Structure 1
Amino acid sequence: MGTASVQCLINSISRFIHLVSCQTTKPLPLPKGCRNLSVVLKLLKHLLDDVISLKLSSDELLYRECEALDIAVNEAREFVENWCPKMSKICSALKCDPLLIKIQNSSQDICESVWKLSESVSCSSSLNAIQNCLEGLQSLKQERISECIEEALISQRTGVGPNSEHLLKIVESLHLMSNQELLKETIAVEKERINAERNNATEDLDHINQIMDLIIRIRDWMVRKDYFHGINGVSVPSYFRCPLSLELMLDPVIVASGQTYDRSSIQKWIDSGLTICPNTHQTLTHTNLIPNYTVRAMILSWCDENKLNISNLSSLVQLSQQDLNRSDSFRYSLHGSNSTARSSPDVENRSDKQNGDVFASLIGEKSNESRRNGTEKFDHSSPQQSYVYSRSVSASSAFSSIDYVPSAPNELMKISNKHEYIKELSGEITSELPAASHNEISGFTSSLGGGQLQAFRTETGMVENENCNGTMDNSIPVLESESDNSTATLRVKKLIADLKSQRDEVQMKAAEELRLLAKDDVENRIIIGQCGAIGPLLSLLYSDRKVIQEHSVTALLNLSINENNKAMIAEAGAIEPLIHVLRTGSPAAKENSAATLFSLSVLEEYKAKIGRSGAVKALVDLLGVGTLRGKKDSATALFNLSIFHENKARIVQAGAVKYLVELLDTATGMVDKAAALLANLSTISEGRLAIGREGGIPLLVEILDSGSLRGKENAASILLQLCLHSSKFCTLVLQEGAVPPLVALSQSGTPRAREKAQQLLSHFRNQRDVCTGKGKS
């Protein structure tokens, strides 16, 4: 060890000091703290130089302290090197402050050790250097903003919420006092969240989600306190402010999720490489910005009433945007390169939760404009259909479920009189699609009024990222690169033989490679199916090794994309093994098992067979206690099964309504999915009774008031069923205040929603007339 550790520390400090001194053109996070630290480390360096030059007696404790500080200084140096101006200020503070504290504490320990050594040799110069260093360290011991942020996050987690003092200190210390700075911070944190998802960093993701919640609280608090000054002394109503920038919406536009934003703010969001709705976190199925003429007319009317000149306001907003544009003149991408990282051909880089598998949605309509409107063609054995991109997380005031982008950009999707349902799972498109089309995919639309539902899910690396302990090779084998099909067939047959091995490791590797081969290649799926892999893969669903189970069920899910394979899987008796995985598998295996059951349920005859098996109960259990992805997969499969009338009662009897009512809470992110399935179940008496018994009416009325267009549509449909069949439920609906949102919906909802709302209002009038007639008689 010896003095080498001291010399290494001196070198590390020199590199750090040099790095900070070179940052004159690049503002640092908390620059005062970093620069002051650099000054203190200079003093410490002089002290350490004395230790080397004076050859103070050896002290093992001192050497260990030097090694500890060396590590901390290098961590700080890496942080400064990797930082760039577009990173989140909150996240940077939470990362930077602990490093500074660690360096201060280690530096103080070193000073104390050197003090003892210097006293023994009466070295006055060293004692003076120690005194200067300790004084510098003492001056740095101030309350750090990270402590305030952590206290705010703790208050948030306990349900109390951060107090105004904490929020004020955060916005002032981090200079988040303007709406443009808040917009930049929101974009930066969203990018941090996407990075955490891609890296499958669950703890980091949870922490970042809490930070995003804190930003939302800060925004709400600033609006509530009228922190942003009004225009010419006139306070801007919150409902006229852009939810993203908090500025008056001079050019309100509707995005694919149904939310309204100011054009400049949402364009800035999209230009930053973000393709999810800021409010609902739905994946935007397209980036068309549709003018919201209704809101614009209301804002213009408000401006007229308050004698505000709209052209003058526009120039003010443009000026306030200039600072933001200048700061965005150089970008950092999600991976630190550029904003096109999303288009990378690396199919393992995903931008949705848990690096999981993808449901690629196929719908029957054929769109000549699909490439221009964000949909991509998919060459498959079935008729030409189009991909749909949408994450469909529902929330208030969202079009959750705008799942098909029509030919005309401004034309909204026609809504089938039959039930439609959205599957939410996302990830990057596999290599069958052009690299430039890499967007988050979401699930499926079932347009049951038309042709046969076509939907399935492709797998993009969830197993290796989530549950295979890093044993996966990220490279994806492709059979087309083989010299000919016979070679490819031999290779697949070898893997199938390995599936039957007595050794778990051999089975695991074979299942893993077959899963990857089937992941993103049409020909591979055909070859694997024809070579007889389905039977051995089904056998491995009973394996005691969770990872083997996961690889096998995911391989089957990928193979089921092919219609012939789907039929072979069903005929091979897949239902019972899949139910076994639903009951015993890991969370990822359960998710993929539910997804495979959904894929099989596309076959009409298997809706009944799956319903009569024990699958419904297992799916309902997953709906209640599964992961978020598992719940969504379960809800998707149950929805498709509920199309077969006999299955509705089975789903109700299995206890699904209780969980579905709980999922009507906007915080779950599954409002639209739960409402769509409940709409099917409300067509039978058992379903209606269960919805009323589980307290669904208040939540449904709330959705009428603040839900997405599709959510409102399904809520109106359910309430209509309840009211038509029960005067008791009708009274409860009226008591919950359903009339005002129904009146609004009857004028501004989707065609089907308007129809249901009008029927409900007419029913209320009829009931009132009946009661009035009875009173008169």
Structure 2
Amino acid sequence: MGIIKEASRDIAGKFTPKSETLTKIQVSLSLSTNQELLMEAVALAKIRTRVDAEDSSELDGINHISELVNHMLEKHVEEKQMHSINGVPIPADFCCPLSLELMSDPVIVASGQTYERVFIRKWLDLGYNVCPKTRQTLGHSNLIPNYTVKQLIENWSEVHGVVLPDPVKLLSLNFSVSLKPINGRTSDKSPFSENSSRENKFGSPDHISSDDSCHPNLLHENFDSDDQISKASSSEDTDDSETGPPKLLVASTEANKLMCNASIDGSDAIKQSRKDGFHASDVEPRLQRNSISGDIGTSASSSSNHLEVVEKDKEEQVSSNSIASETTRNGRTVTCSKPNFQPRLGGVRSRNHLVWQQRSDKAVSLDSRSDFAIVDNKVRKLIEDLKNERTDPERAAIGELLVLSRHNMESRISIANHGAIPFLVNLLYSADPSMQENAVTVILNLSLDDNNKITIASADAIKPLIHVLETGNPEARANSAATLFSLSVNEENKAKIGRSGAIKPLVDLLRDGSAQGKKDAATALFNLSIFHENKARVVEAGAVKPLVELMDPAAGMVDKAVAVLAILATVQEGRNGIAQAGGIPVLVEVVELGSARAKENAAAALLQLCTNNSRFCSLVLQEGAMPPLVALSQSGTARAREKAQVLLSYFRNQRQVGKVTRR
């Protein structure tokens, strides 16, 4: 246990533990596969939700161990993703998130994520009623074949001469035979106990006893007990011992007991808050290579060049690629895709993260299976009507698809699986404004699913979406911008959209669109600007002036506008544009009077302006920035205080330099 505490302290101190240390921990605790690490990570998250928030020492201990497990999990995934077959790297979207292997029989679960059939079936059979990737509680256990991804994988395999693996063989290697369903009763005997035998590990048959008692303090006691720590050191120290390698702080054991009390319908899952602004944070090192997968990082300090966006007041659905939210526009529910924010490397998961729950055999009723079959058959008929070139059947079909696509993930998946996307893309060129609007709205709803994002981009939808941006009615233009934003969650699409000429019409929408259109345009431009070469395009398209104008509180877009300006301020063209558009006085005003989030981003932009140009620094000081910055350094958010302090320190250093020069 000494090496565990040492590694935890390294993580807590923002240091990276040595690889050999992590290997020892994984070997000694039998955390060798992706599944085992996932189970342990979420089991700890489950325990954290039951810990008294006022007991800071226990909570800190759990958080440090959670950070360590999450760090090991991310390192494991990174190492696995470096592997190739016959020297050919495997696209990440073709790999099962559970096994991390190339999929042969991909299926879709209720959350919309795709997995290898035998792996997700085993996962469900073990009693886990959540999506391993998004941590979203699954409403049912139906597995829907993902024919689109299967075809893509088969085509890729044929081109590269790759033989698809046998998933059944991989399953036996990845899932330990000792794992048992979580609805078994768990012994109250701690794996750290002196009387624990080597075979009495979590999940082994001997570990399932009739004792039903829970131990809410077991994790804390084992973490703090020096006596038990001495019994559970590295594997080298225990080879000849009676004590077998424990699961990390018996988190899985305790979490399984807690899960016994979880409600079947998932009502005790903690939902994510709704958000509607942008939030600046420190950049991840990997973002400086423009390789953004889940995190969207930011910095307005002199050492980094990216921004992190956190949407508020939109219901979040956490995933490795997107956050889904639904908003109502003109009485119509429209689903928008938002970026996914995964924990930082070794970061602590939010206590509001959705947690694991026990699966019940009653979770999927015959009615739900029957309902799905009815919807699937209905979708199949509607797609046939879409193929009909007569206007009336097409209009009726697109209207019904719009209704179906707004309700649930299964309908969206079914619509895409039955080949609707190419026909919907063609309808984006319709001369009928209503038809065009409905088509783009259905595509927007379908883009909620990660796999559908791939299919939509592969159907050459970007140019038609730009056509809607340029020619559509206000609602269609807004939904087109939202769809481009949804597609831009994919890093490759950021580049593709930027190079396809979408930025200029997005800026036009920002300038003259409806209130909703301006918000969607700002969101899309922000996400596209994360890709470095798009920043200059956004500035050249004339985005800075309307963004400065939208910082007027009367426009209701201060938070969004200042966030985009903060990311544009990380390039010289953006800084020049902000100064020329009269943005410096407005940024200073936001630091003084804006929301907490807006103040932080305004300080980030000012920091970039001042540290990169002495003339801009003088202008900022002339606008009276010192008092609001001093106030922000004392009462703002943690990141805002940091940026304000750095900027104030920079001002002091500049004064000292000036005094020396005058002497």
Question: How high is the TM-score relative to the length of structure 1?
Answer: 0.43
Question: How high is the TM-score relative to the length of structure 2?
Answer: 0.50
Q: Greater relative contact order (Cα 8 A, min sep 6): structure 1 or 2?
A: 2
Bigger share in helix = 1
